[in-house]
Structure 1
Amino acid sequence: MPIRRRWPLPVAGLLLGTLLACTPGQVPPTPPRPSPVSDVHALEKFYDQKLAWGQCEPYATGAQSQDAFRAPGIECARLTVPMDYAHPDGPTVSVGLLRRKASDPADRIGSLVVDPGGPGGSGMEVAARLGPTVANQAIGLRFDLVGFDPRGVGASQPRVRCLSDAERDADRENHRGDGTTPESSAAWASYAKDFAAKCVQRTQYGADMLANVGTRDVVKDLDVLRAALGDAKLSYLGYSYGTQLGYSYAEAYPRNVRALVLDGAIDPAETESESLVSQGQGFTRSFGLFAAACARHAGCAVGPDPARAPDVFRDLTQPLRTAAAPAAGGRKLSYDDAMTGVVDAMYSEQSWPLLNAALNLLKAGDGSQLLQLADSYYERGPDGRYSSLQDAYYAVRCVDNPHQVDADVVTATHQRMRGAAPFLDGGRPDQGEIDVCGSWPVPTTSQPHRPSLPGVPPPLVISSTDDPVTPYQAGVNLAKEMGGGLLTFDGAQHTAFLHGNQCVDVNGLAYLVDGTLPPPGTRCGG
């Protein structure tokens, strides 16, 4: 299971074809920057398309989206784009869209396009859920709020499909270890090949589709979307991985940018391995903050001494390695799901009380609440259906980063990851990503690099001091590189804009409406 990077939703609860991978140390060439002029000329029929807006409920793909798409005042449509931009006359794919129109048309500025990250998160769902929050704010009054499901995700067609719901349930119960022993490494290598083969077999257009689902292609879809919405320039709100889409769009289409809010920034030059290790370090720091906050209250599940909390936690969860805990509905809590539930709660300190309750319930032999947290992470609905998030995550990550195929390097990376998050003790939420991408059947289409952004309007970068997923310093660096403004949020959560902090929201709204960046050094308290 990957440690994904996405806007945190409220807790509700291979090988067909030739393996194309880089040898150790080899870096694929950076794809050329597209020319907006030539792209528009060659793709005129896509840029000029008219969107047919209608009811949103037919776009729902599961219980979560069914609930979100019943919201009043929203409408949905499909954007048609080429599957392969190098062959615009070939097969096409559709991108799902959801819009909440500006409630003050006379003062309307344009569209604000939002992406929640992941990769694999549904922008349609996020836009629907944000609707009530922004209704009486400048965003709701002056912008059409538009969420999109990137190609291969959610309501977009075709979706990336790898595992069935039943296979995903079974996969969560199968503990393959942390990849640092020969047995565990072999288990992960076997799983990776089988997983990749299923992705090719079950995704429409197979390897051809998988070769064109990365950031390179979503950025092109985003420019087609901008034109189809009737906007001369793009106003964009990107959370987490959505920040990568934002700065990548700016690099490709600098003249088409109006405003960029980048919240929970990804370091553009960080490698896949480096990002996984830094995330492990971030979750370890957040667990320490949780333990310190918990220790101040009676009934703390990890005890009154924060220094001993990792040991107490391990004593509580180690028995799950050999015997899963019973949970509601006849289900069971596995060791890996317990670790996943904890990771899910680390995304925001608002979830810490729920985590403490879940751990206390586990002490009583009931894994239900911790399993519910894991379900939230995986986006498993009460009907047992999963969103496309997990499958799409791998598909995008594996074409956005160079593949690592040296077994010794993979094992060493796993060891670094385990050392970065010792409290998880081998229950690695991100343990298989390096292995899966090493077995991916299509080549990479992007690579980590410092973007070249001459002439791009200054963005607003928002970075949280104790973000467990995207380090604070990444936001500091990105703001400096892009010549933008930095807004610091003092808090232990992943992303902050439109999450209820008035200081963050006021500064973000001022930027989106009139381009006003906060004064240097501006901080907002948690």
Structure 2
Amino acid sequence: MPVVACTSQQPGSPAQSQNQTETKGPVGPVPAGLDKFYSQPLSWGACAPYATTDDAKSLFRGDGLQCARMTVPLDYANPAGDTITIGVLRHKASDPGNRIGSLVVNPGGPGASGMTAAANLASQVTQTDLGKRFDLVGFDPRGVGASEPDVSCLTDQERDQERSQDLDLDGSPAGVAKQEAEAKDFASKCAQRTQHSTAMLANIGTRDVAKDMDVLRSVLGDQKLTYLGYSYGTRIGYTYAEAFPGNVRSMVLDGALDPNQDEVESLVAQGAGFGTAFNQFAAWCAAQRSCALGQNPADATKAFQDLVRPLIQNPILLADGRKLTFDDATLGAIQALYSQQLWQPLDSGLTELKRGIGTTLMALADQYNERDTSGHYSNTQDAFTAIRCVDDPRVTDKAKILDAENQYDKVAPFLDDGLPKGAALDACAFWPVPNTSEPHEPHVSGLPPVLVISTTNDPATPYQAGVNLAKDMNGALLTFEGTQHTVFLQGNSCVDNVGTQYLVDGTVPAAGKRCAGQ
């Protein structure tokens, strides 16, 4: 999601320095033993102390933003035990007289910051019906960003070192053994360096985030939840709907994960999405005056491979002492395929690569990894792995892994490194705690209609996943015809109008409703 300017002070919006403590809960049903959490006050104040990245430091200075910490049980099975805190950011409705409630936002990941996402969106929605009638609220899921404790696995230096090695390209028995040793070491470091150790890792999954979100609903004073989830945030949404169907007011799920797919199936489906997006990029690039991949889209895959495969043996040394590897070059391309706004930088980066320059592709890879210019990483990648390892059963069948790798190369051939495949187990195979959920069709009853938005050429969460989720949840489907990852509140007036009308008054679009790119 692109970074937008900080918000301006708006009528009805509190100045950032205005501290206030509010007690609005408990509201709605309270699960047994959780009264003190559902009724807790929130002490709102300046957001600057919550910033953990350069982006957040800039965004959190915006006028009209308030932040607070919410306390939740570390383990909901033992609410009298240890507690942790969740970082929450709010931008109040600019028309408080017509306020409906709170719109809770999650940008996905897993591991991405909901506080940063809400701060990003604040200036865009302030003078829209959404901004006028809803408090915009983002939270950092447990273990993420400003929430405490955060998941901590690798230091900044270790992350740089990991990226410099291209370990996953060696499919030999010795290479696979080395990859698995690294994966086992990563899992061990996560347990050693994360506060509360395995107890935190055992309770970091979507199952528990959904419970945190119901506590948040109550302490915000909302009888029912209004929710906007992007990408993995759709999983939080449908998990919440399963656990608390009677507490849902409305729910927009944009860029859906298919709830029935396991980790391997999801990976291959995502590969197909990136393969399609690459072909769309190649066609766009070929139509430009000059294109790093040439003027024939049919030759683009080979042209891309010819540019990036030499990096396997000869990475490019950068001015800061790091090296652009094959993995980082392809990761930079993947980052650019998330949005057409990054297609021009991708072409520029590939043009640079022809001259032995890796600056732009590395910058795109850094953007994906959330590495700032000072060399500091957010904990998104650590949290991503920790959450994924408890959200899905571990995969230990090497034949299945190898088959998935071969399928991935077929559906996303531009990413094929051309080397023999191995079948290394990932960190989840060595995770110190078991999974707490698994893929399944959501079982919901008493749920109001939800709105699922799915993009025809979404590279990361393919279109059919949204079709399937809308069917599984008996919800409405809005189709966006475009090539990007998620679309609501990103400038398409057709999508924004449909989604806003739904969130404000519950109106779902007619069956078969489609919006085209502008």
Normalising by structure 2, we get a TM-score of: 0.92
Query: 5+ unaligned residues in a row in structure 2: which ranges?
Result: 6-26
Corresponding residue SS for 1:314: helix
Cα distance between partner residues in 2 of 1:427 and 1:132: 46
- 2:80 aligned to 73, 84, 89, which one? 89
Change (3 A) 1:246 1:432: farther
- 2:383 aligned to 372, 392, 400, which one? 392
Cα distance between partner residues in 2 of 1:231 and 1:434: 44
Cα offsets for 1:216-274 (capped at 9, x unmatched): 10000000000010000000000000001101101100100000000001111101000
Cα offsets for 1:457-486 (capped at 9, x unmatched): 000110000001111111112112212111
Q: CA deviation at 1:356?
A: 0.3
The one-letter code of the counterpart of 1:220 is: K
Q: CA deviation at 1:432?
A: 9.7
Match of 1:286 in 2: 277
For the 8 Å contact 2:28–2:223, the answer to whether it is kept is no
- 1:79 aligned to 49, 55, 70, which one? 70
Q: Quick check: 475-484 or 81-90, which moved more?
A: 475-484
For the 8 Å contact 1:110–1:144, the answer to whether it is kept is yes
Question: Does 1:439 pair with 2:459?
Answer: no
Q: CA deviation at 1:209?
A: 0.5
For the 8 Å contact 1:464–1:491, the answer to whether it is kept is yes
Change (3 A) 1:427 1:64: farther
- 1:302 aligned to 293, 296, 300, which one? 293
Match of 2:357 in 1: 366
Cα offsets for 1:123-159 (capped at 9, x unmatched): 0001001011001101110000000000000000000
- 1:329 aligned to 316, 320, 333, which one? 320
Q: Quick check: 336-345 or 39-48, which moved more?
A: 39-48
Cα distance between partner residues in 1 of 2:258 and 2:392: 13
Match of 1:491 in 2: 482
Which of structures 1 and 2 has the larger relative contact order (alpha carbons within 8 angstroms, sep 6+)?
Answer: 1
Cα distance between partner residues in 2 of 1:206 and 1:397: 17
Cα distance between partner residues in 2 of 1:422 and 1:52: 52
For the 8 Å contact 1:273–1:434, the answer to whether it is kept is no
- 2:465 aligned to 474, 477, 488, which one? 474
Match of 1:61 in 2: 52
Match of 2:516 in 1: 525
Q: Quick check: 300-309 or 180-189, which moved more?
A: 180-189
Cα offsets for 1:79-100 (capped at 9, x unmatched): 1000000111111010000000
Change (3 A) 1:397 1:462: same
Question: Does 1:46 pair with 2:37?
Answer: yes
Q: CA deviation at 1:437?
A: 1.1
For the 8 Å contact 2:281–2:343, the answer to whether it is kept is yes
Match of 1:426 in 2: 417
Cα distance between partner residues in 2 of 1:392 and 1:166: 17
The one-letter code of the counterpart of 1:412 is: D
Q: CA deviation at 1:183?
A: 3.3
Match of 1:220 in 2: 211
For the 8 Å contact 2:402–2:423, the answer to whether it is kept is no
Cα distance between partner residues in 2 of 1:94 and 1:37: 22
The one-letter code of the counterpart of 1:230 is: G
Corresponding residue SS for 1:247: helix
Change (3 A) 1:38 1:502: closer
Corresponding residue SS for 1:404: coil
Match of 1:152 in 2: 143
Query: Percent identity between the aligned chains?
Result: 55
Q: CA deviation at 1:10?
A: 4.6
Cα distance between partner residues in 2 of 1:276 and 1:181: 22
Q: CA deviation at 1:184?
A: 3.3
Q: Quick check: 431-440 or 361-370, which moved more?
A: 431-440
Q: CA deviation at 1:279?
A: 0.8
The one-letter code of the counterpart of 1:224 is: V
For the 8 Å contact 2:143–2:151, the answer to whether it is kept is yes
Cα offsets for 1:60-84 (capped at 9, x unmatched): 1121211111111100001100000
The one-letter code of the counterpart of 1:331 is: R
For the 8 Å contact 1:114–1:127, the answer to whether it is kept is yes
Q: CA deviation at 1:317?
A: 1.2
Corresponding residue SS for 1:42: coil
Matches within 5 A, 1:121-520: 121-178=112-169, 180-426=171-417, 435-520=426-511
Cα distance between partner residues in 1 of 2:380 and 2:111: 4
For the 8 Å contact 2:89–2:139, the answer to whether it is kept is yes
Q: Quick check: 475-484 or 104-113, which moved more?
A: 475-484
Cα distance between partner residues in 2 of 1:218 and 1:69: 23
Q: CA RMSD in A?
A: 1.9
Change (3 A) 1:447 1:179: farther
The one-letter code of the counterpart of 2:373 is: P
Q: CA deviation at 1:179?
A: 6.7
The one-letter code of the counterpart of 2:371 is: R
Cα offsets for 1:335-359 (capped at 9, x unmatched): 1100100000010112111100111
The one-letter code of the counterpart of 2:231 is: S
For the 8 Å contact 2:305–2:417, the answer to whether it is kept is no
For the 8 Å contact 1:180–1:414, the answer to whether it is kept is no
Cα distance between partner residues in 2 of 1:75 and 1:415: 48
Change (3 A) 1:44 1:251: same
Q: CA deviation at 1:366?
A: 1.0
Change (3 A) 1:124 1:214: same
Corresponding residue SS for 1:117: coil
Cα distance between partner residues in 2 of 1:298 and 1:186: 47
Cα offsets for 1:492-526 (capped at 9, x unmatched): 00000000101110111000000011111111111
For the 8 Å contact 1:192–1:432, the answer to whether it is kept is no
Q: CA deviation at 1:120?
A: 0.2
Cα distance between partner residues in 2 of 1:408 and 1:521: 40
Normalising by structure 1, we get a TM-score of: 0.91
Change (3 A) 1:435 1:11: farther
Q: CA deviation at 1:417?
A: 2.8
For the 8 Å contact 1:338–1:374, the answer to whether it is kept is yes
For the 8 Å contact 1:348–1:492, the answer to whether it is kept is yes
Q: Across the two proteins, how many residue pairs are aligned to each other?
A: 494
